[in-house]
Amino acid sequence: MDKLLEVASLTKIYHNGREKFSAIADVSLSLFTGDYLSIVGPSGAGKSTLLHIMGGLESPDEGKVIFKGRDIYKMKNNQLSLWRNKSIGFVFQFYHLIEELNVLENVALASFLKRRKSSLKKAQILLEYLGIEARKHFFPSQLSGGERQKVAIARALVNEPQIILCDEPTGNLDKDSQERVCELLEELNGQGVTIVLVTHNLELAKRTKRTLFVRGGELEEEVNSQ
């Protein structure tokens, strides 16, 4: 399989007043085209930090993220934004919806930026699939946690990205919605989309192709039987 994204010896240091500590230290992993990787580990292990760095949202203090042979943090800021918009779909742990836009506009926005005529149509289809079409004119403040999560998922998918990075995408969902999201991710992966799923839910993790356990700052890999 082709190596799509390579994470090489990443370290991220945060400052807490005068204290310094590394949220992730010397982490390396490879993501292949068509991969479905889950990352599991305790709270504070650095999973979100790792995902943000992999998606070009936060630069590391040491190490590299290589996409198809290109070091993404060597790109100029606008190139990096373009790459992110084109290649990455991000489902954030805390949704990050735009409060001033309604559901439909939140979902369509990423695609509007590429001036796609079909953006609203696609947003509509995703909202229908996720069962929140009836909320499309609501604003984020009028939604439940689970509904916001679904909007965040639809938004990540609207651009048909090559890689989807999901940070606990089903944390606030009931069983049925959880299953629907899982099936959607599996379907997309079947179509060749590469997925990284950060989750505390071991059942979800087992459904991916391989799982990385973050333990004491180190990564251990397990290949899941399909």
> Which residue ranges make up the site for Mg ion (CB under 5 A)?
48, 93
Does 14 sit near ligand ATP (CB under 6 A)?
yes
User: Judged by CB, which is closer to ligand ATP: 46, or 55?
Assistant: 46
Taking the complex as a whole, the smallest distance from the CB of residue 13 to Mg ion amounts, in Å, to 17
Q: Which does 94 bind (CB under 5 to 8 A by kind): ligand ATP, Mg ion, none?
A: none
The closest residue (CB) to Mg ion is: 48
45 part of the interface to ligand ATP, by CB under 6 A: yes
Q: Does 46 bind ligand ATP (CB under 6 A)?
A: yes
DSSP codes of every residue in the chain: --EEEEEEEEEEEEEETTEEEEEEEEEEEEEETT-EEEEE--TTSSHHHHHHHHTTSS--SEEEEEETTEEGGGS-HHHHHHHHHHHEEEE-TT----TTS-HHHHHHHHHHTTT-TTHHHHHHHHHHHTT-GGGTT--GGGS-HHHHHHHHHHHHHTT--SEEEEESTTTT--HHHHHHHHHHHHHHHHTT-EEEEE-S-HHHHHTSSEEEEEETTEEEEEEPP-
Q: Minimal distance in Å, beta carbon 52 to Mg ion?
A: 9
> Closest separation between CB of residue 53 and ligand ATP, Å?
10
Contact segment (CB under 6 A) with ligand ATP among 44-52, 78-86, 98-106, 109-117 equals 44-52
Residues that bind ligand ATP (CB under 6 A): 14, 23, 41, 43-49, 93
